[in-house]
Structure 1
Amino acid sequence: MKIEFRKHRSPFWSIPYGPASLHALLTVLATTSVLAQSGRSVMAQQINCDRPQGNVEVKACIRLNYEASDKRLNEVYKQLMSQLSGEERALLSEAQLGWIKLRDKTCEFAVYKNRGGTGYGGFLNQCLDRMTKQRTAELEKYLKQR
Structure 2
Amino acid sequence: MKIELRKGRSLFWWSAILAIFGTTSVSAQSPIFPIAQQINCDRPQGDAQVRTCIRLNYEASDKRLNEVYKQLISQLSVEERALISEAQLGWIQLRDKTCEFEVYKSRGGTGYRGFLNECLDRMTKQRTAEIEKYLKQR
TM-score by length of 1: 0.71
Match of 1:91 in 2: 83
Q: Percent identity?
A: 80
**1:124-135 alignment runs, 5 A limit:** 124-135=116-127
Q: 5+ residue gaps in structure 2? A: 1-19
Residue 141 (str. 1) matches residue 133 (str. 2): yes
Q: Aligned with 1:52: secondary structure?
A: coil
CA–CA separation in structure 1 for the residues paired with 2:74 and 2:46: 43
**1:1-146 alignment runs, 5 A limit:** 46-146=38-138
Q: State the number of aligned residues.
A: 111
How far off its partner does 1:74 sit? Answer: 0.1
When Rg is computed on C-alpha atoms for both structures, the one with the higher figure is 1
- After superposition, the Cα gap between the structure-2 partners of 1:117 and 1:95, relative to the gap in structure 1 and judged at 3 Å, is same
Q: 5+ residue gaps in structure 1? A: 1-30
CA–CA separation in structure 1 for the residues paired with 2:81 and 2:37: 37
How far off its partner does 1:41 sit? Answer: 8.2
TM-score by length of 2: 0.75
Per-residue CA shift, 1:6-65, capped at 9, x if unaligned?
xxxxxxxxxxxxxxxxxxxxxxxxx96xxx7xx778959711000000000000000000
CA–CA separation in structure 1 for the residues paired with 2:80 and 2:37: 40
State the 4+ residue runs in structure 1 displaced beyond 2 angstroms.
39-45
